[in-house]
Structure formats: structure tokens, C-alpha cells
């Protein structure tokens, strides 16, 4: 019996805020009111933390998590913590600048409660009846079993290595974006002609194509703006056929299939289409963690209530010890929280003046 492999990186609690090197902002201005502070209530209990008092300090950092940039701040002492992690967005457009200091609101990030965002198996392939064995890898890490479950949002390189019922093998790797908006939808397909050439084509892209680099086994063999490509004579019977696509709206995507001209049923299709399984989006969202009275809470969307952080003002501050710009985000948050141990839903309301690196 095959046990599904679970690719879990620790998404629920966002431990990375404490695991990374902490960049403490100092010195604080000499004034009566601390520049970094949070006041409010959680589950009816008063909450207050001020930098420079009771050992509280402000940490800031930017990190790359699952190929997505995150902008972090954490005000904490040994007993209490309030942390915000803003996610980048529009991640399929490399040239897009989020400029988080210009946002007036950030939606609260989805909470999945341990459910996978995407599931991949042999049943997802149209030629599954010809598949004898399947092995997955993600970001170069080989997974056990023939089912891959992705639990975190991000951009991943997913590879499928297949052994077919006749003993031949095939492999293809695709860029997979899970939990973020896709600004172009398209699928790479192919046809094998009678003379054993291959016609590759991008099926129904919903945005105009600027250019495509066509690749055979990782080597660029042609560049064009056409959504179709015919290989011609290659002196190869089986190969990986890739397309690095740039669309006119700035989207860049990498797609790959495996083609076997002598055994046409032994192919690996463009399985990146499965990235659309999740309808949740983390683009420009905020993950908020509160630690108080020996309990840990996370802000959530609850029913029809649209939970957002409202930003009232942003002031430039200093650089942190890593040389990153830190700004003071002043705003409010009023939403539901979940107790990460008991799963109880409680109310929370906060006003903050908070440091975020960006």
C-alpha cells in the first residue's frame, strides 16, 4: 500500500520569524511614547507591548520563502509577541514591484488547517493506464510514494519521473505556482506527426505572447513569438521539450513535457495545470501571530467577514542591521483569531505602530 508523501515545511505557525537571524532596530528615539507599540485585546484579555519596556524589542527582516519574498516584523519579549509577515504578490511577473509601503490594506492570509493546497498522482495523467511507477521530486528533493501533496503557498519546481508498463522511462519538470494568482493560463501540448516529428503548441493562452524559447533537453533550439513549434529532424526518439514563455503583460512561465516519438503513449504532459486546484490566494496578504498568556493565536478569515489590516500611515525609519529599509506602519486590525492549540475561535482587536523591513 502506497502511503501519500506530505511535503510539509511548517506553514501553520510561521516559525521562520523566530528561526531567522533577528535584526533589532536600534537605537530607539528618546521620547515619552515608544515608536514601536501594540495595544488591544485578544479573547477579551488586554494586550499591550512597547519596545524598550519589559525587555521588548523590535525585530525586522525580509526573507525568501518558497521563492516568494516576505516582509516581516516582530515585537516581542519573553512573555508576549505580536508579529506580522506580509507576502509579496504577482509572483509570475518578475518585474512587478509590490511597494508594500503604498498599500492601504492587506487581507489576512488564508488558514488551511492542515489541508493540502495541491495533490499530484498518476491519476492526473491522461495516459495513466500506461504508467507502472511514478516518483516525484520538489525543488530537487525526491519524495517517496506516487502521491505528492503540497501544503504551502509558493513557487516550486516539481518533477515527475515515470516508468511505463513497457519498461521505458520519461521525466519532465514544471514550474508550479500554488496559492498565488496566475496572470496567464495556458497548457503546453504536443502532436507527433507521421514522419515522427513533434509539433509543440501552447493551448489557448489568454494573453498575447511576446516570445518563447523552445528547448530540447535544456538546450535552446529556437526562439519565436509563435505559440507553435515543429521540431524537425532531431536524431532523437525520446526527449524533454521545454518552453520558456514571456507574455506581453510581463508574465514569465517555464513549462516542460516529455515526448517519445516511437511510443507516443509514453509521454509526460504539462502537469502544471494542476496548480489551479487551490482557489485561495496569498498575494499581498498578512500572516499575524499573537502570543499572550501562554497561548498562541493566528489571525484568520472567518465566514463572510473580510478580515484586513488597515494601514493609516507609513513613515520611513532607519535601516536594520542587514541594511534593509525599515518603515513604521501605523494601523489597526479587528478580526477573528484561532488558538493554534485548541482551535478555538476568538476575537481580537489591535492598534499598532510597527516596524516592517522592505
pLDDT in tens, 146-168: 999 999 999 999 999 999 999 99
Domain final residue, candidates 250, 277, 304: 277
- For every residue of the chain, which 3-state class applies, written as one string? CCCCEEECCCCCCCCHHHHCCCEECCCCCCCCCCCCEEEEEECCEEEEEECCCCCCEEEEEEEEECCEEEEEEEEECCCCEEEEEEECCCCCCCCCCCCHHHCCEEEECCCCCCCCCEEECHHHCCCHHHEEEEEEEECCEECCCCCEEECCCEEEEEEEEEEECCCCEEEEEEEEEECCCCCCCCEEEEEECCCCCEEEEEECCCCCEEEEEEEECCEEEEEECCCEEECCCCCCCEEEEEEEEEECCCCEEEEEEEEECCCCCCCECCHHHHHHHCCCCCCCEEEEEEEECCEEEEEECECCECCEEEEEEEEEEEECCCCCEEEEEEEEEEEEEEECCCCCEEEEEEEEEEEEEC
Q: Say if residue 254's pLDDT is above 70.
A: yes
Same domain, residue pair 258 and 312: no
Full domain range(s) for residue 169: 118-277
pLDDT at 304: 57
Residue 263 and residue 179 share a domain: yes
Q: Which of 298, 301, 255, 308 is nearest to 280 (CA)?
A: 301
Q: Integer distance in angstroms from the first to the last C-alpha of the chain?
A: 47
- Considering the domain architecture, whether residues 122 and 101 belong to the same structural domain is answered as no
Phi, psi of 184 (to 5 degrees): -145, 140
The pLDDT assigned to 31 comes to: 39
336 and 197 assigned to the same domain: no
131 and 257, same domain (yes or no): yes
Residues 171 and 293 in one domain: no
**What distances in angstroms separate CA 77 from CA 58, 137, 321, one per listed residue?**
9, 40, 19
Pair (64, 36) in one structural domain: yes
Same domain (yes/no): 128, 105: no
| 219, 244, 277 - which closes a domain | 277
What's the angle, vertex CA 22, arms to CA 17 and CA 27, rounded to 5?
A: 130
Whether residue 122 is found in the same domain as residue 107: no
**For the chain, how big is the Rg over CA atoms in Å?**
24
pLDDT in tens, 180-230: 999 999 999 999 999 899 999 999 899 999 999 999 999 999 999 888 899
Q: Could you read off the pLDDT of 172-191 as tens digits, one per residue?
A: 999 999 999 999 999 999 99
Q: How many domains does the chain have?
A: 2
Q: pTM for the whole thing?
A: 0.86
Cβ–Cβ under 8 Å, residues 131 and 165: yes
**Among the listed residues 192, 218, 200, 122, the one whose alpha carbon sits nearest the alpha carbon of residue 163:** 122
Are 291 and 336 in a shared domain? Answer: yes
Q: Does residue 6 or residue 38 have the better pLDDT? A: 38
Examine the fold and report which residue of 251, 277, 303 is the final residue of a domain before the chain moves on: 277
The larger pLDDT score, comparing residue 141 to residue 16, is at: 141
User: Is 252 found in the same domain as 152?
Assistant: yes
Do both 176 and 198 map to the same domain? yes
Handedness of CA 283, 321, 12, 336 (dihedral sign): negative
Provide mean pLDDT across the span 16-23: 43
Give the closest residue to 14 by CA, choosing from 315, 330, 298: 298
146: CATH:
2.60.40.10
Amino acid at each position: 500500500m502506497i502511503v501519500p508523501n506530505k511535503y510539509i515545511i511548517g506553514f501553520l505557525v510561521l516559525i521562520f520569524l523566530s528561526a531567522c537571524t533577528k535584526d533589532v532596530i536600534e537605537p530607539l528615539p528618546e521620547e515619552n511614547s515608544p515608536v514601536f507599540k501594540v495595544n488591544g485585546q485578544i479573547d477579551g484579555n488586554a494586550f499591550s507591548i512597547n519596545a524598550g519596556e519589559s525587555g521588548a524589542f523590535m525585530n525586522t527582516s525580509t526573507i525568501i520563502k518558497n521563492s516568494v519574498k516576505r516582509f516581516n516584523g516582530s515585537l516581542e519579549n519573553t512573555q508576549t509577541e505580536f508579529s506580522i509577515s506580509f507576502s509579496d504578490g504577482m509572483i509570475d511577473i518578475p518585474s512587478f514591484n509590490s511597494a508594500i509601503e503604498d498599500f492601504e490594506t492587506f487581507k489576512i492570509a488564508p488558514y488551511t488547517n492542515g489541508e493540502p493546497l495541491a495533490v499530484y498522482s498518476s491519476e492526473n495523467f491522461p495516459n495513466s493506464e500506461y504508467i507502472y511507477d511514478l516518483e516525484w521530486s520538489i525543488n530537487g528533493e525526491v519524495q517517496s510514494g506516487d502521491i505528492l501533496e503540497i501544503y504551502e503557498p509558493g513557487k516550486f519546481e516539481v518533477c515527475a519521473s515515470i516508468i511505463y508498463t513497457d519498461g521505458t522511462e520519461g521525466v519532465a519538470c514544471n514550474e508550479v505556482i500554488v496559492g498565488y494568482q496566475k496572470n496567464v493560463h495556458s497548457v503546453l501540448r504536443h502532436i507527433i506527426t507521421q514522419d515522427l516529428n513533434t509539433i509543440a503548441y501552447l493551448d489557448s493562452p489568454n494573453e498575447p505572447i511576446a516570445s518563447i524559447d523552445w528547448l530540447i533537453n535544456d538546450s535552446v533550439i529556437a526562439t519565436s513569438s509563435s505559440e507553435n513549434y515543429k521540431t524537425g529532424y532531431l536524431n532523437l526518439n525520446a526527449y524533454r521539450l521545454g518552453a520558456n514563455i514571456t507574455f506581453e503583460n510581463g508574465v514569465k512561465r517555464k513549462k516542460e513535457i516529455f515526448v517519445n516519438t516511437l511510443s507516443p503513449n509514453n509521454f509526460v504532459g504539462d502537469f502544471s495545470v494542476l496548480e489551479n486546484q487551490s482557489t485561495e490566494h496569498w498575494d499581498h496578504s498578512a500572516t499575524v501571530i499573537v502570543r499572550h498568556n501562554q497561548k498562541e493565536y493566528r489571525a484568520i478569515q472567518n465566514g463572510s467577514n473580510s478580515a484586513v489590516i488597515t494601514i493609516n500611515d507609513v513613515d520611513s525609519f532607519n535601516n536594520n542591521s542587514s541594511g534593509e529599509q525599515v518603515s513604521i506602519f501605523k494601523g489597526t486590525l479587528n478580526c477573528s483569531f484561532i488558538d493554534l492549540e485548541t482551535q478555538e475561535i476568538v476575537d481580537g482587536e489591535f492598534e499598532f505602530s510597527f516596524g516592517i523591513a522592505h
